Amino acid sequence: MTDPEAALAAMTPLAAIRERIAHTAAIARRKAESVTLVAVAKMHPVESILPLIAEGQRVFGENRVQEADAKWPALQEANPDLQLHLVGQLQSNKAEEAVRRFDCIHSLDRLSLLTALARAMDKTGRRVPLFVQINIGDEAQKGGCAVADLPALLTEARAADLPVMGLMCVPPAGIEAAPFFALLAKLADDHGLASRSMGMSDDFETAVMLGATHIRVGSALFGARG
């Protein structure tokens, strides 16, 4: 009988992550295809990205507009089916650049950015799907909309005809993530949003169990950043 841990260890990092997603989804009575793996390539060079593309990964994430502009135009020209997601904080003055570069933005968190994104989408003619980032642990040092401010922000987003598809969070470090993922899932349900961007390298299986539709995995795929 094959040892599951040994079998995972023999796989490439991408294959192992996919297997873990599929296994966890099956336990949760979900289809593996209902979970989008966003391979977060921030601070990793093109040379580290190419093997994942060759292995079939098509959805990637970056934290900053500038880094994406430097790395992705040639990769996307060679692979037109690649999708690029912005998973880091976004300054309002970079909204137009982000709308032009990215296929999805995970970090809408305030009214000023909402206004800038609406203007950018009208100007470019691109309707880029958005996640509202929630400061799920009420941490002063983290970006994200306060839970109490979510209804008003969603009302403004809908009035501006912005394509908000779901909610995103980064739970506090060093404590159990499950309650925070459960809260994000409840908030998404309460507001009629189908997508939940939650879970990273250390906790994505918990996120899948609790309904994540998008998981953002970096170090488990690429190793530690230099």
Write down the domain spans for the chain. 4-222
Mean pLDDT of 198-206: 97
Reported confidence tier of residue 124, pLDDT bands at 50, 70, 90: very high
Average predicted confidence (pLDDT) for the chain:
95
Mean pLDDT of 175-197: 98
Reported confidence tier of residue 152, pLDDT bands at 50, 70, 90: very high
H or E element that contains 163: none
Reported confidence tier of residue 171, pLDDT bands at 50, 70, 90: very high
Mean pLDDT of 175-200: 98
Q: How far is residue 198's CA from residue 177's CA, in Å, rounded to a whole number?
A: 10
User: In which residue are the tokens 């950018």 written?
Assistant: 120
pLDDT at position 2: 58
Reported confidence tier of residue 9, pLDDT bands at 50, 70, 90: confident
Mean pLDDT of 196-209: 98
Reported confidence tier of residue 210, pLDDT bands at 50, 70, 90: very high
Burial class (CB in 10 A: 0-12, 13-18, 19+), 68: buried
Class of domain 4-222: alpha beta
Please enumerate in sequence order all residues whose Cβ is within 8 A of that of 85, keeping only pairs 6 or more positions apart, or say none.
Answer: 38, 59, 60, 61, 62, 102, 103, 104, 105, 106, 214, 216
User: In which residue are the tokens 């998008």 written?
Assistant: 214
Residue 50 near residue 222, CB atoms below 8 Å: no
Q: Looking at the chain, which runs of residues are DSSP E strands?
A: 36-40, 59-62, 83-86, 104-108, 130-134, 164-169, 195-197, 214-217
Tell me the CA end-to-end span of the chain in Å, nearest whole number. 38
CA-based torsion, 180, 184, 190, 191: positive or negative: positive
Mean pLDDT of 55-75: 97
Please enumerate in sequence order all residues whose Cβ is within 8 A of that of 87, keeping only pairs 6 or more positions apart, or say none.
Answer: 38, 40, 42, 61, 62, 63, 106, 107, 168, 197, 216
Task: Pick the closest to residue 188 from 156, 215, 162, 211 (CA basis).
Answer: 211
pLDDT at position 224: 77
pTM to 2 decimal places: 0.94
* pLDDT(1) > 70: no
Q: How far is residue 34's CA from residue 25's CA, in Å, rounded to a whole number?
A: 9
Task: Pick the closest to residue 134 from 91, 161, 164 (CA basis).
Answer: 164
